[in-house]
């Protein structure tokens, strides 16, 4: 079977991309796997790519490239929803190249991994291939206009995969897609690399007690709330430290907040994140106070190192990993008291941290690349077996949609 994964930018970095690359490598154990990257901004990918995977970039954005001089490069892509986080990076040239590739591909399975890519897949992917969209957007993250914009093309998909069961249920309830299998598959936890094993959780019993966090220094990550919660930890456990990895416009304000709370030397803005989550190696606790689960994949990186996590219950991230197997504590968004309480409880309970760290590691293993690949292959087989019945449901559903539209039009007239 030939499987093609469609990526926004395979040359970038981040936990979500690392998980996708790990899944692709696991699938390559048994099948022919190709990576198609909409963009290429550097010579060599930042994340390691298994040599068995063919990597094909569509548009080269490196300075001086021929694509940069193409007249369509500066025109916005007409098919990409504006709610797509990287909408500004998609050009009409990207849309043209994506459509050309999809019309000519001989893949048996096509998997999109971002909203903008998924729209292209739904519009131009060949009907003979399975078309599967991994949808990172939560249904409640956009407005009605966005979902109306997605409803048309998404009805052509074979499956829509959400990062959590709650997100999948919301999609099923709010955006009916007849004939489309809507399901949840949790984020893939990359296998631990060299140096990831022996140093995990070293802060649990000896050495510095450290709370580690990582993400963009932007308002939605709520690092200000984390710093304030950490001040409560310091009041009771003065030997603890907070280390925040990342860059962004909130850095000056966070620095002032740390100084104002008297946490200089205890709370540190530690600079850029690493490409492989190494900032969590040796941490005692990993934490996130993000409003929208944007730091969730980073907490998954911590779990695979056996570090217990404290985070908000928002996907994508470790929400369902924690609910299914432990490994952390979930607190409500914007609740500084609950966040401080969870951190205090773990800070004062070394045995609890060890037990929770072991549960985090086991949960991460259950959601590693191998098990994730097996889940994907079972999905492919199910979609093949139900293709005819789903096509009937799609046809009947679209007919019903047209009838309702006509009825509503006559009623308004």
Choice between 215 and 379, residue whose per-residue pLDDT is larger:
379
- Compute the distance between CA of residue 85 and CA of residue 223 in angstroms, rounded to an integer: 21
For residue 122, whether the previous peptide bond is cis, meaning omega lies within 30 degrees of 0, is: no
Q: Quick check: 356 pLDDT over 50? A: yes
Confidence of residue 204 (pLDDT cuts 50, 70, 90): very low
Owner of token pair 């897949």: 121
Q: At residue 316, does pLDDT exceed 60?
A: no
Give the closest residue to 289 by CA, choosing from 350, 238, 244. Answer: 244
* Cβ(252)–Cβ(282) below 8 Å: no
pLDDT at 195: 37
| pLDDT at 109 (0 to 100) | 98
- Three-state SS string over the chain comes to CEEEEEECCCCCCCHHHHHHHHHHHHHCCCCEEEEEEEEECCCCCCCCCCCCCEEEEEEECCCCCCHHHCCCCCCECCCCCCCCCCHHHCEHHHHHHHHHHHHHCCCCEEEECCHHHHHHHHHHCCCCCEEEEECCCCHHHCCHHHHHHHHHHHCCCCEEEECCHHHHHHHHHHCCCCCCEEEECCCCCCCCCCCCCCCCCHHHCCCCEEEEEECCCCHHHCHHHHHHHHHHHHHHCCCEEEEEECCCCCHHHHHHHHHHCCCECCEEECCCCCCCCHHHCCCCEEECCCCCCCCHHHHHHHHCCCCCEEEECCCCCCHHHHHHHCCEEEECCCCHHHHHHHHHHHHCCHHHHHHHHHHHHHHHHHCCHHHHHHHHHHHHHHHHHCHHHHHHHHHHHHHHHHHHHHHHHHHHC
Question: pLDDT-based confidence at 382, cuts 50/70/90?
Answer: very high
pLDDT band at residue 134, thresholds of 50, 70 and 90? Answer: very high
pLDDT at 365: 84
Question: Are residues 211 and 244 in contact, defined by beta-carbon separation less than 8 angstroms?
Answer: no
pLDDT, one tens digit per residue, over 89-99 is 889 999 999 99
Percent of the chain with pLDDT over 90: 58
Confidence of residue 196 (pLDDT cuts 50, 70, 90): very low
* The pLDDT value given to residue 197: 41
Report pLDDT digits (tens) over 272-309: 888 677 889 889 999 999 876 555 677 888 888 899 99
Report how far Cα 233 is from the mean position of its chain's Cα atoms.
30
Q: Among residues of the chain, what percentage have pLDDT more than 70?
A: 85
pLDDT at 256 exceeding the cut of 90: yes
More confident residue, 411 or 220: 220
CA distances from 299 to 51, 195, 237, 288, 293 (A): 28, 18, 23, 8, 10
Which pLDDT belongs to residue 199? 40
Mean pLDDT (the chain) is 86
What is the per-residue pLDDT for 208? Answer: 67
Answer with the residue of higher pLDDT: 113 or 136: 113
- State how far the Cα of 270 lies from the Cα of 222, in Å rounded to an integer: 16
Note the pLDDT of residue 293: 57
């Amino acid at each position: 079977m030939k499987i093609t994964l469609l990526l926004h930018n395979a040359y970038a970095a981040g936990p979500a991309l690392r998980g996708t690359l790990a899944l692709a490598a696991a699938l390559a154990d048994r099948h022919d796997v190709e990576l198609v990257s909409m963009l290429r901004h550097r010579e060599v990918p930042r994340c390691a790519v298994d040599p068995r995977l063919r990597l094909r970039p569509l548009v080269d954005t490196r300075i001086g490239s021929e694509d940069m001089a193409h007249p369509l490069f500066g025109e916005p892509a007409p098919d990409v929803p504006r709610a797509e986080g990287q909408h500004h990076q998609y050009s009409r040239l990207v849309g043209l190249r994506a459509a050309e590739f999809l019309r000519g591909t001989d893949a048996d399975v096509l998997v999109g991994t971002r909203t903008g890519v998924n729209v292209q897949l739904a519009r131009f992917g060949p009907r003979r291939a399975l078309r599967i969209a991994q949808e990172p957007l939560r249904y409640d993250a956009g407005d009605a206009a966005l979902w109306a914009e997605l409803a048309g093309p998404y009805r052509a998909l074979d499956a829509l995969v959400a990062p959590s069961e709650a997100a999948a249920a919301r999609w099923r309830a709010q955006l009916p897609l007849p004939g489309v299998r809507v399901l949840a598959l949790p984020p893939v936890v990359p296998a631990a690399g060299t140096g990831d094993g022996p140093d995990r959780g070293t802060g649990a019993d000896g050495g510095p007690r450290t709370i580690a966090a990582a993400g963009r220094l932007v308002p939605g990550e709520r690092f200000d709330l984390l710093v304030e919660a950490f001040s409560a930890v310091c009041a009771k456990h003065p030997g603890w430290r907070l280390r925040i990895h990342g860059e962004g416009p909130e850095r000056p304000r966070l620095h002032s907040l740390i100084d104002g709370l008297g946490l200089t030397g205890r709370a540190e803005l530690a600079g850029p994140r690493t490409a492989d989550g190494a900032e969590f190696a040796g941490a005692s606790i990993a934490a996130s106070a993000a409003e929208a689960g944007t730091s969730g994949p980073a907490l998954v990186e911590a779990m695979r190192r056996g570090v217990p996590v404290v985070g908000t219950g928002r996907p994508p991230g470790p929400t369902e990993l924690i609910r299914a197997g432990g490994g952390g504590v979930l607190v409500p968004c914007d609740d500084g008291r609950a966040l401080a309480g969870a951190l205090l409880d773990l800070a004062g309970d070394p045995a609890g941290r060890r037990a929770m760290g072991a549960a985090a590691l086991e949960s991460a293993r259950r959601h590693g690349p191998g098990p994730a690949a097996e889940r994907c292959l079972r999905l492919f087989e199910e979609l093949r077996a139900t293709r005819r019945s789903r096509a009937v449901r799609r046809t009947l559903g679209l007919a019903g949609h047209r009838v309702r539209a006509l009825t509503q039009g006559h009623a308004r007239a």
